[in-house]
Amino acid sequence: MQLTKLIENLDYIEVIGNIDITINSIQFDSRKIEDGDVFVAVRGTESDGHDYIESAVSFGAKVIICEEKPKILYDNVTFIIVEKARKALARISANYYHNPSNEVRIVGVTGTNGKTTVTFLISKLLGKLGYKSAIIGTTGIYIGDEKLDATHTTPDPINTNKVLREVADKGIEYVVMEVSSHALEQNRADYIDFDLAIFTNITHDHLDYHRTFEAYSEAKKLLFDNLKSSANAIVNVDDAGYKVMIDDTQAKVSKVGWDVDADYKIMNEEFDHTGSNFIIEDSGTEIKIHSPLVAQFNIINLSLSLVAVSKLCEVDLNKLTSDLSYISSAPGRMERVPLVNGAIAIIDYAHTPDALEKAGKACKELIVGDAKLLIVFGCGGDRDKTKRPLMAAASEKYADKVIVTDDNPRTEERDKIFEDIEKGFTKPGSYMIIKDRAEAIKDAVRISNSGDIILIAGKGHEDYQIIGTQKIHFNDKEVVLNVRI
């Protein structure tokens, strides 16, 4: 691509050198640079791309996009000085792949909990209507029958636009993507043309990065601030955070939930082992719904998804809700695994206090008679320490027994993590600590009886543990299925 084409609509402060040249590709990791590449010097939380400009040039970079003019300039290397390199990376990534988000319809889902489930539900609903869709999110990137691993909930702009280009070229009409607060603050979602955005909820999480809850909220708000006037914003009206999200949006807003202010009001919910029954009231019309999904939080997840697809595809809710038997949750989201002793293991990604409490409540509602609820959970090392005692309190609220264990301890001392968690327990004897996660799960299964439910929380779909700096294979479901009782 010609550099002049690559930097179209790019706001820059100064250009030093020739822009009438052909470039190869874009990189922000100097180790990946090849001859003729553009290197974008991004400032990260742990390193600064400006420190690697010399290295990038030595590997063959012909264009450097950076925020500060280097002291040393190189012959035959073009320097483009910008105010914010991350934003520039998003702009040129979209240009490089010929702005693919303009060729597909894109749904962005943000919120602390429920993003993955909602993306999968929307994809299922679209498929039932006959539309092809792709998913970008925590569990991976799904393009038709192909699944690609994802390192981030929302990929960097280069990879996002690369995926969107592939999707557009394959004739897939819709993309449903999770949009994290990190991605929004780091400009990873800039210049993506969202047709619809969904807000699920906002609770305590990622304060190790955002520092304050207000900053966390403001980061998520960016998705709605940048919507065009023809777009739709679908929000959970029962979460007070929705008001912040839509405060400055130009999009058409639809409020969904139990609250009296809801445009789509949820009523009369009931649960059993077959799923849930509830009503959505739309402009005075009551629509009866049966869903195979359990838990109250899945009622709001499904309701948000139904309204979103109704708006997106301009179809009546009745058409979408007549038969939802094909609906299933995302991998590792309230995933039920029947055990040979008659107990049920439920594997869920709940890794925040709010998510763990809601998952615990949902499991408790499925308990019959004298059966018991056991909860297995841990907290990640080198991450937000303030949520650890809150996780303990959330688990203790509904569990008959809690087993605290590892969940990606990383480089932090495991005993320190457990010590922080223990501060949140208030009932003597309500918990035990089994450091090894596999042993914790095995013990939970072995002490369970027919009718008991074991909620194994925190990792969900993940197939690894990070211990120290080593990433080892580990999957909660595999461990459960291989326990000898």
Q: What is the residue-wise DSSP string for 81-139?
A: E-S-HHHHHHHHHHHHTT-GGGTSEEEEEESSSSHHHHHHHHHHHHHHTT--EEEEETT
Which helix (H) or strand (E) segment holds residue 278: the answer is: strand 275-282
Q: Please list the residue range(s) of the chain that carry CATH number 3.90.190.20.
A: 335-481
Q: Please list the residue range(s) of the chain that carry CATH number 3.40.1390.10.
A: 3-92
**What is the average pLDDT across 452-470?**
95
CA dihedral 40, 45, 51, 55 (to 10 degrees): -60
Tokens encoding 417: 């993590």
State the Cα–Cα distance between residues 451 and 447, nearest whole angstrom.
Answer: 12
State the Cα–Cα distance between residues 430 and 420, nearest whole angstrom.
Answer: 16
**Mean pLDDT for the chain?**
94
For residue 194, pLDDT beyond 50: yes
- Per residue in 407-439, pLDDT tens? 999 999 999 999 999 999 999 899 999 999 999
- Per residue in 160-191, pLDDT tens? 999 999 999 999 999 999 999 889 999 999 99
Residue 216 has what pLDDT?
A: 85
pLDDT band at 330 (very low <50, low <70, confident <90, very high): confident
**What is the average pLDDT across 126-134?**
96
For residue 199, pLDDT beyond 70: yes
Residue 396 has what pLDDT?
A: 97
State the Cα–Cα distance between residues 266 and 282, nearest whole angstrom.
Answer: 9
State the Cα–Cα distance between residues 72 and 327, nearest whole angstrom.
Answer: 59
The CATH topology of domain 335-481 is: Protein-Tyrosine Phosphatase; Chain A (3.90.190)
Q: Residue 158: what are its φ and ψ, rounded to 5°?
A: -65, -50
Angle at 292 between CA 288 and CA 321, to 5 degrees: 35
State the Cα–Cα distance between residues 139 and 155, nearest whole angstrom.
Answer: 12
CB 409 within 8 A of CB 381: yes
- CA-to-CA separations, 370 to 345, 374, 376, 450, 459, in angstroms, rounded: 17, 13, 20, 10, 28
**What is the average pLDDT across 137-162?**
89
307 CB-contact burial (10 Å; exposed 0-12 / middle 13-18 / buried 19+): buried
Query: How far is the first Cα of the chain from the last one, in angstroms, to the nearest whole number?
Result: 62
State the Cα–Cα distance between residues 16 and 344, nearest whole angstrom.
Answer: 65
Among 137, 143, 139, 138, CA closest to 104: 143
Instruction: Note the Cα 432 to chain centre separation in Å.
Output: 30
Among 15, 23, 2, CA closest to 78: 15
**Residues in the chain, overall count:** 485
- Per residue in 254-298, pLDDT tens? 999 999 999 999 999 998 767 899 999 999 999 999 999 988 899
For residue 44, pLDDT beyond 80: yes
- Per residue in 70-79, pLDDT tens? 989 999 999 9
The CATH topology of domain 100-321 is: UDP-N-acetylmuramoyl-L-alanine:D-glutamate ligase (3.40.1190)
For residue 211, pLDDT beyond 80: no
Sheet with 453-457, side-by-side order of all strands: 335-338, 344-348, 453-457, 373-377, 401-404, 431-433
Residue 231 has what pLDDT?
A: 98
Q: Sort strands 275-282 and 285-291 into parallel, antiparallel or unpaired.
A: antiparallel
Spatial CB neighbours of 324, under 8 Å, sequence gap ≥ 6:
289, 290, 291, 292, 302
| Domain 3-92 indexed as CATH 2.30.30.100 | no
Q: Please list the residue range(s) of the chain that carry CATH number 3.40.1190.10.
A: 100-321
For residue 210, pLDDT beyond 50: no
Considering all CA atoms of the chain, what is the largest pairwise distance in Å, rounded to the nearest integer? Answer: 79
Residue 208 has what pLDDT?
A: 54
For residue 318, pLDDT beyond 70: yes
State the Cα–Cα distance between residues 324 and 322, nearest whole angstrom.
Answer: 7
